[in-house]
Amino acid sequence: MPATRLFQTSEQSLREYLRAAQVRACRAAAAGKVSAQVPALAEVDPTRFAMAVATVDGAEAHIGESDARFSIQSLSKLFALCALLRHEPDAWSAVGWGPSDAGYGSVADLEHNQWRPRNPFVNSGALVVTDRLLMHSGDTVAATVELLGGRTVAASDARVAQSETATDHRNSAIAHVLAEHGRLINPIDVLLPQYFAQCAITASVRTLARAALFLADKDGDRAVLDPETVRRVNAVLLMSGMYGAAGDIAYRIGLPAKSGIGGGVLAVMPGRGTVCVWSPPLDSAGNSAGGVAAIEEFARRAGWSVF
């Protein structure tokens, strides 16, 4: 019997866990605030909610607006990284894998690390990943959307991308610093539109949970990356996917996870499955307040933890 079958959970149980998680999420979301960092995101109704779980055994369950597409923002960094690693398995030489408590938009952290991004999820690292993926694919949005399941389930929102382009001076500054120190391949005026369009990809929680299953089933028939690379990606997710709150998330929940300022949170339980939440209000760390609470409740009830 395959090892993944030892932990099979019924869809009825998954639905019960999701209902309890939604109650917890709604309470937590009331204390958060929708991101104003990107003007187009500030218009999103803070009461919207969706959650989906997919298991390596084929079970799925969902609740709320589970087919509604939302702006995945930094969740795209995970899929862009995996798309890059398909082309360039040793891309870790260009971007590190260690945690950082300096904030995802820090320029000082770049200087302290000799101009090599600390990991692929801080903004400097994500820019390097996008830059190298662009070199290999010619279109980072298309390469990322392919991993999400194709254009029928995911696409970039031009309005959100334009909103980011007009207001995101921080990433422009980071790109110039990276270029100054020889860390970029493409011209900045080519890279930044690709990066903003990549962050503006929209997808549903069901699409994201399904698309990330290869990270939970590294030895199965969903293989996108080799098992060793999957292990490394999950390790970096655990250490760095939730930025400065990564240690707290590891302590409270114990799952590799990635967040985005659009209100999405995606978590992986190796050998078991994936769970994705969308709840727009963010906490003080910039993670979805309701999303983190929902995944914590789900993981507790389902017994999901890597520890």
Binding residues: 74, 123, 164, 171, 195, 243
Q: In what order do the strands lie in the sheet with 70-71?
A: 70-71, 201-203, 155-156
Tell me how far apart the terminal alpha carbons of the chain are, to the nearest angstrom.
Answer: 23
Rg for the chain, CA atoms, rounded: 18
**Residue 115, burial from CB neighbour count under 10 angstroms (0-12, 13-18, 19+):** middle
Looking at the DSSP bridge assignments, the partners of residue 63 are 51
**Where are the extended beta strands (E) located within the chain?**
50-55, 60-64, 70-71, 155-156, 201-203, 257-259, 264-269, 273-278
Which single residue is written with the structure tokens 């100054």?
180
Kindly list the distances between the CA atom of residue 93 and the CA atoms of 50, 60, 117, 129, 217, in Å, as whole numbers in the listed order: 37, 37, 10, 11, 26
- Nearest Cα to Cα of residue 286 among 127, 141, 50, 123: 123
- Nearest Cα to Cα of residue 122 among 95, 156, 91: 95
Residues annotated within the binding site for substrate are: 74, 123, 164, 171, 195, 243
Kindly list the distances between the CA atom of residue 229 and the CA atoms of 92, 153, 218, 226, in Å, as whole numbers in the listed order: 10, 26, 9, 5
Three-state secondary structure string covering 204-271: CHHHHHHHCHHHHCCCCCCCCCCHHHHHHHHHHHHHHCCHHHHHHHHHHCCCCEEECCCCEEEEEECC
